[in-house]
Amino acid sequence: MGAYIVRRLLQAVPTVLGVALLTFLLFDAFGADPVRTALGNHATPEAMANLRHQWGLDQSLPLQFVDFLRQIVTFDYGRSFVTGEDLGTQIKAGALVSLSVTVPPFVFGGIVNVALALFIARHRDGIVDRASRVLFIAAMSVSALVYVLALQYLLAFKLDWFPINGYEGGWAAVKYLGLPWLIQLLLLMGPDIRLYRTLFLADINADYVRTARSKGAGEARVLFRHVLPNAWIPIITQNVTTIPFLILGSFLMERFFSIPGIGNLTIAALSRGDLPILKAVTVLGALALVLFNLLNDLLYAFADPRVRLS
């Protein structure tokens, strides 16, 4: 196991190098000049040269790239161009806020949707199954933005159950997060239940389930002792690889409800040409994805003895 982890980590090195190169090319080599964005069109050449020097952009591109690699390895992403703040602090704070937006609906929705999918799969082709299939396809044909708009209008503007938008730190955040949580729960239902239903159906029709039934196992025993343990594996796969996206937060929710998470940080940085933030978020997002993919493979091997770690 240890050797496998080490080898997988080594295999990730060229991937991370590629991500660094792609990020650097898109932002530093091809992107708009951040000095121009910061100072506007009427800046004097001296002012521009000064700022360029201050931000280290007067070095050659290869040197800047080496410096970027150093940042990645040391996890020291320097300071924001615009605010001068330390990026580590900013990103950590943003990530915590993003997690508070996305984790509760992810956990709660996960449990509820697995239960609902199990019920639907158990009563395959029944009235609930057929109705929900049509309903989900229809529901997923409407843009997520429309649900956000309509629910904000109904629950916050008309019924006044939630604040329209905004955010406060600490426990007061719950008041503002209620509506984004509810919307995400609803948005997750369609895709999740459809996926879990397919997974459960693959197992419900399997030979071993027929064997269990023919040995006289009751319905509950078949579902919870036979189907569920097998279907867990793809469910774990699905959910572990989603975790990096939870840290990234939901860009749409954060933007819509003015919640200061990673999504809002990134969008604001984009309009200001704040390259250090953009590059740091991109690389950290990719690192998280690579790590959780590795973790996922390990869990997979752990949960399914047939998967040999070769």
Partner 1 sequence: MEHVKPRSAAAEALRALWARPHIRACLIVVVLYLLIAVAGYFHLLPDADAALGGSQDPPSWHLATLLGTDILGRSVLWRVIAGAQTAVTIGLATTVLAVPFGTALGLAAGYFGGWLDAVINWVYSVVVSVPDILLITAISYAMGKGLSSMCVAIAATSWVGIMRLVRGEVLKHKDSDYVLAARSLGAGSRRIMFSEILPNVVHVAIVTSSLVLLASVKAEVILTYLGLGIQDGASWGLLITGASQDLTNDIWGPLVGTVTAMFLLIYSLSAIGDALRDVLDPRVA
| Nearest-approach distance from CB 215 to partner 1, in angstroms | 31
Which stretch in 38-46, 170-178, 281-289, 299-307 sits in contact with partner 1 by CB under 8 A? Answer: 281-289
Nearest in space to 293 (alpha carbons), one of 248, 236, 249: 236
Nearest in space to 251 (alpha carbons), one of 235, 267, 229, 270: 267
Structure tokens at 39: 């100072």
Residue 30: phi, psi to the nearest 5?
A: -105, -20
Which stretch in 21-29, 53-61, 63-71, 109-117 sits in contact with partner 1 by CB under 8 A? Answer: 21-29
Measured distance CA(237)–CA(276) in Å, rounded = 32
Contact between 12 and 294 under an 8 Å Cβ cutoff? The reply is: yes
Nearer to partner 1, 66 or 267 (CB): 267
Measured distance CA(67)–CA(70) in Å, rounded = 5
Contact between 246 and 261 under an 8 Å Cβ cutoff? The reply is: no
Q: According to CB under 8 A, which residues from 251 to 270 bind partner 1? A: 251-252, 255-256, 263, 266-267, 270
Among the listed residues 234, 244, 261, 276, the single contact to partner 1 using CB under 8 A? 244
Among the listed residues 5, 16, 212, 303, the single contact to partner 1 using CB under 8 A? 16
Q: Return the SS3 of 79.
A: strand
Among the listed residues 4, 5, 15, 239, the single contact to partner 1 using CB under 8 A? 15
Contact between 157 and partner 1 per CB under 8 A: yes
Which stretch in 20-28, 38-46, 70-78, 212-220 sits in contact with partner 1 by CB under 8 A? Answer: 20-28
How many residues make contact with partner 1 (CB under 8 A)?
Answer: 47
Q: Return the SS3 of 86.
A: strand
Nearest in space to 188 (alpha carbons), one of 289, 113, 103: 113
Q: Characterise 160 by phi-psi region: left (phi > 0), alpha (psi -120 to 50), beta (else).
A: left
Nearer to partner 1, 115 or 154 (CB): 154
Contact between 18 and partner 1 per CB under 8 A: yes
Q: Characterise 84 by phi-psi region: left (phi > 0), alpha (psi -120 to 50), beta (else).
A: left
Contact between 96 and partner 1 per CB under 8 A: no
Contact between 87 and partner 1 per CB under 8 A: no
Distances (CA, A) of 138 to 135, 142, 187, 217: 5, 7, 13, 37
**Cα maximum dimension of the chain:** 86
Among the listed residues 65, 108, 232, 245, the single contact to partner 1 using CB under 8 A? 245
Contact between 277 and partner 1 per CB under 8 A: no
Among the listed residues 39, 82, 140, 303, the single contact to partner 1 using CB under 8 A? 140
Contact between 276 and partner 1 per CB under 8 A: no
Among the listed residues 27, 181, 196, 257, the single contact to partner 1 using CB under 8 A? 27
Residues that bind partner 1 (CB under 8 A): 14-16, 18-19, 21-23, 25-27, 30-32, 137-138, 140-146, 149-150, 153, 157, 244-245, 248, 251-252, 255-256, 263, 266-267, 270-271, 273, 278, 281-282, 285-286, 289-290
